[in-house]
């Protein structure tokens, strides 16, 4: 294998990846690795673009987990002293907001996220509990974050989640999403006939059963639970860029 090819592969698939985005250099790295290894990988990458690096604005992306401020500080100091980069900052963490209008922040780091769709999800993971089967009367399924069920939820059963609830089947029992207080959560079912819906602290009881066989979802609007045809509303399809949920 030629040396060049080897280098290329390292850039694409290694534990540290570098990408020019706008006027910044975006570096995606695995924060679980030892600092020494990360510094070695960073040296390797930055040597290859040494002229670009001088005074560059560098953004470090450690994935969605919090608590790597110290690591970013250490690596930032290392990059500044070794390669003379201009500034080093952390990538903004995800926010739980389904409302695209809220996201129009002037923050340049956000802009990077918006445009950099295909590469930057590497260290991100949405926590989803995915189950298949039938939840029966008297049974309760709980998920720390999102809950996805391939199957049905019977009357008398309860599904409970910290985040969203997606039922790829009939939802006839009770669904409690966004616990304890995430009113941005949704409850979606291919066949939406719940006994009761709760999102965050808001309860929707006695929802009129819809006769149409269509995919529906419940969400909170002005402190009330609203049920809409999912494909018609296309709330998420209308969002201008991808986000982690």
Partner 1 sequence: MDGRIIVITSGKGGVGKTTATASIGAALALEGRRVAVVDMDIGLRNLDVVMGLENRIVFNVVDAVKGKCKLKQASIKDRRIENLYLIPASQSDNKNVLSPEEMVSFGEILRKEFDFVLMDCPAGIERGFENSVASADEAVVICAPEVSSVRDADRVIGLLYAKSITPKLVINRIIPEMVERGDMLNHIDVVDVLSIELIGLVPMDDQVIIATNTGNPLVLQKKSKAGEAFRRIALRLNGMTDLPIEVPQAEGHFWRKIGTKLGLGK
Token output for 121: 């999800």
Among residues 43 and 154, whose Cβ is nearest to partner 1?
154
User: Does the protein bind partner 1 through residue 158 (CB under 8 A)?
Assistant: no
Of positions 57, 80, 114, 134, contacts partner 1 by CB under 8 A: 134
State the virtual CA torsion across 58, 61, 62, 63 in degrees, nearest 10: 170
User: Does the protein bind partner 1 through residue 97 (CB under 8 A)?
Assistant: no
How many residues contact partner 1, by CB under 8 A? 11
Is the Cβ–Cβ distance between 22 and 112 less than 8 Å?
A: yes
* Per-residue CA distances from 92 to 28, 56, 105, 174, 186 (Å): 13, 18, 11, 35, 24
User: Does the protein bind partner 1 through residue 196 (CB under 8 A)?
Assistant: no
Give me the 74-93 binding string for partner 1, x by CB under 8 A, dash otherwise.
--------------------
Is the Cβ–Cβ distance between 155 and 149 less than 8 Å?
A: no
Residue 109 φ/ψ region, left for φ over 0, alpha for ψ in the -120 to 50 degree band, beta for the rest:
alpha
Residue 48 per-residue DSSP state? H
Among residues 21 and 175, whose Cβ is nearest to partner 1?
175
CB of 137 to partner 1, least distance (A): 4
CB of 136 to partner 1, least distance (A): 4
Question: Which has the closest alpha carbon to 29: 42, 20, 47?
Answer: 42
User: Does the protein bind partner 1 through residue 136 (CB under 8 A)?
Assistant: yes
Of positions 22, 119, 138, 240, contacts partner 1 by CB under 8 A: 138
User: Does the protein bind partner 1 through residue 137 (CB under 8 A)?
Assistant: yes
> Would you tell me which residues interact with partner 1 (CB under 8 A)?
134, 136-139, 152, 154-157, 172
């Amino acid at each position: 294998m030629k040396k060049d090819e080897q280098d290329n592969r390292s850039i694409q698939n290694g534990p540290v990846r570098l990408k020019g985005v706008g006027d910044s250099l975006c570096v995606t790295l695995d924060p679980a690795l030892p600092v020494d290894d990360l510094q070695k990988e960073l040296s390797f990458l930055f040597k290859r673009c040494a002229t670009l690096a001088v005074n560059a604005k560098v953004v470090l992306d450690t994935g969605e987990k919090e608590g790597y401020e110290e690591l970013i500080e250490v690596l930032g100091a290392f990059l500044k002293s070794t390669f003379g980069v201009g500034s080093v900052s952390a990538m903004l963490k995800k926010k739980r907001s389904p409302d695209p209008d809220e996201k129009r922040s002037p923050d340049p780091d956000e802009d990077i996220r918006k445009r950099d769709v295909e590469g930057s999800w590497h260290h991100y993971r949405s926590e989803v509990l995915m189950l298949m089967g039938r939840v029966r009367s008297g049974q309760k399924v709980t998920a720390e974050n999102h809950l996805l069920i391939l199957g049905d939820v019977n009357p008398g059963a309860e599904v409970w989640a910290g985040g969203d609830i997606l039922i790829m089947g009939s939802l006839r029992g009770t669904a409690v999403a966004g616990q304890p207080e995430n009113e941005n959560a949704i409850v979606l079912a291919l066949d939406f006939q719940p006994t009761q819906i709760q999102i965050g602290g808001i309860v929707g009881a006695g929802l009129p059963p819809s006769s149409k066989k269509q995919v529906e979802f419940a969400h909170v609007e002005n402190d009330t639970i609203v049920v809409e045809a999912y494909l018609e509303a296309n709330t998420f399809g209308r969002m201008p860029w991808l986000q982690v949920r």
